[in-house]
Amino acid sequence: MRRGSPRLGGSVALARNRARPCNPLIQPMSIGQIMNTTDAADPMPLPPDPPLEIAVRSLRSPTGHGRQENQDNYLIVDGQGRARLLWREQETALRLPDWPPGHRRLAILDGMGGHSHGREAAEKALEGLLELPAAVDLAPISAGLNALHHRLRQQFQAAGLETGCTLILLEVPPSGPALLFHVGDSRVYVVDARRVQCLTVDHVPATHMAMLGLMNGAQWFQRVHVQANSQISQAFGLGGTLGAPQLYPEAIAADLFELHEGNLPLFLRGLDDRRALELEPDRIYLLASDGLWRLANPQAFIQRWPALLGQARRPLEDLADTLLAELAEEIRRQRSQPDDNCTVILARRPGRVENPPTEDTP
């Protein structure tokens, strides 16, 4: 996660901790202390799971000439409780005991680059996700993740650190809609052969300005989806300035500020941070860290996704490889190096869409 500015949104300066040995208060436990694990080669294909096809990729640098550390992470738990994640930048597999059959969990985490222990912060959050019980409605997911956020914040503060991570979590019960929980500027998109649509709102200064009535929809889109951005206004395990009643708050709020219908501007209504999300058949749901669109002209790449991904008969594993190969070429073409960490999860339910929409939206 690149963060070129030492500020979290608004006017709140974040301390950049100088290089030092990892503080024991933030050092992740051995993953073997959580579950019985096996190391996995990279890449490790997921076992067949017909109701929901899934592919994942996590790259330190798409071109091989970018970041020296991968501060991204991910979690995939399939319907048999088999989990995949990164641990100290290595793909790891484990099995969760007592996981409900047919229940799935997908998550993307992006540690705060420019701040010490960004990777470790994401790993600490991932530990908590492994311990979070499966849920079939939003209330327990929100309560559990809010509690985890505060627990991590206390641990980081005790260690003298101001760090955190983004979080996209998609809980997929065996029946009914998926459940979305979002913090930061990682995103969820839905893609088919005709359009690509962003389903989340970035927690960035431009969104704060729009909520205060200082920016209209066109200005917000230009700032968030067209221009490069190196600041966030909220992070999991840290807090934020997103809900401040003034543009330049003096402190980082401890609680997570949830975007919802009651506080979003009209042009962003329906994109609540925490909501039920129907996974429609034959559409790809793309969860990703910001390395996937950190380009001089991100829309030039994003608007190609329907052609790249809207191929219902191609396996997601192939589509994931194609997407990241095209990203590397786009980075070179746009001269957008050094490139960032990039982590992508693709998910698709089998089936046929009877009347796919034709409107192009960002």
- How is the chain split into domains, by residue range? 52-200+272-348
Asked if residue 56 lies in contact with residue 74, where contact means CB atoms within 8 angstroms, the answer is yes
C-alpha of 227 from chain center: 19
pLDDT at 11: 31
DSSP 176: S
Q: How confident is the model at residue 281 (pLDDT cuts 50, 70, 90)?
A: very high
Q: What pTM was estimated for this model as a whole?
A: 0.86
DSSP 17: P
For residues 34, 38, 43, 44, the Cα torsion angle rounded to the nearest 10 degrees is -100
pLDDT at 352: 61
Q: How confident is the model at residue 23 (pLDDT cuts 50, 70, 90)?
A: very low
pLDDT at 286: 99
**CATH 3.60.40.10 matches 52-200+272-348:** yes
